[in-house]
Amino acid sequence: MGKVIEGKADARGLRIGIIVSRFNNFVTDKLLEGALEALRNHGGEEEDIDIVRVPGAFEIPLLAHKMAATGKYDALVCLGAVIRGDTPHFEYISDAVTRGIGHAILQFRVPISFGVLTTNTVEQAMERAGEKMGNKGFEAALTAIEMANLNKEIP
């Protein structure tokens, strides 16, 4: 068996950017709280974390792209909540956000974790923001920490 390389859950010294949507803020504020808790619990310092608030999930990829392009961040965390309604709007927004974030990852080779909920109901979103199914913001921040460390390990 060859060498196994794994990311560490250590945020000390990492520069993290968080992009969070204001739309559905009753969900996204909880995701942000979870992300900040994860960063603090794993050694992250307040002065190493930038939080950028955007109007909605659709605007997240633009800021992810711009922030990744600066070279200032070891990782980014994207947080939002897209909740299905009665029109196909849900599919368009979900697809655009996913593709946009993926494009920024590949173009700039900066880890960007996906903490954008895409749920059928408000109840499902609330469950994933800390009520029953854990906090996906917390999980997204942990992913960012691990991937930032892996990204440094493998140049």
Whether residue 81 is contained in a domain is answered as yes
pLDDT at 59: 98
Whether residue 28 is contained in a domain is answered as yes
Whether residue 130 is contained in a domain is answered as no
pLDDT at 131: 66
Contact in structure between 57 and 3 (CB atoms under 8 Å): no
Task: Name the residues annotated as catalytic.
Answer: 89
66's tokens:
């711009």
Whether residue 39 is contained in a domain is answered as yes
**Residue that is written with structure tokens 């900066």 in the block:** 110
Amino acid making up residue 128 = R
Q: What is the chain's pLDDT, residue by residue, as a tens digit (155 residues)? A: 788 989 999 999 999 999 999 999 999 999 999 999 999 999 999 999 999 999 999 999 999 999 999 999 999 999 999 999 888 899 999 999 999 999 999 999 999 999 999 999 999 999 999 866 699 999 999 999 999 999 999 87
Whether residue 125 is contained in a domain is answered as no
pTM: 0.95
CATH number assigned to the domain comprising residue 65: 3.40.50.960
Contact in structure between 137 and 18 (CB atoms under 8 Å): no
**Total tally of structural domains belonging to the chain:** 1
Positive or negative torsion for Cα 123, 138, 18, 117: negative
pLDDT at 105: 97
Residue 68: which domain range? 16-120
Whether residue 110 is contained in a domain is answered as yes
Q: What's the Cα-to-Cα distance from 141 to each of 19, 36, 49, 57, 148, rounded to whole Å?
A: 11, 8, 11, 17, 10
Tell me the H-state helices in the chain. 25-41, 60-69, 89-108, 122-128, 136-153
Amino acid making up residue 92 = Y
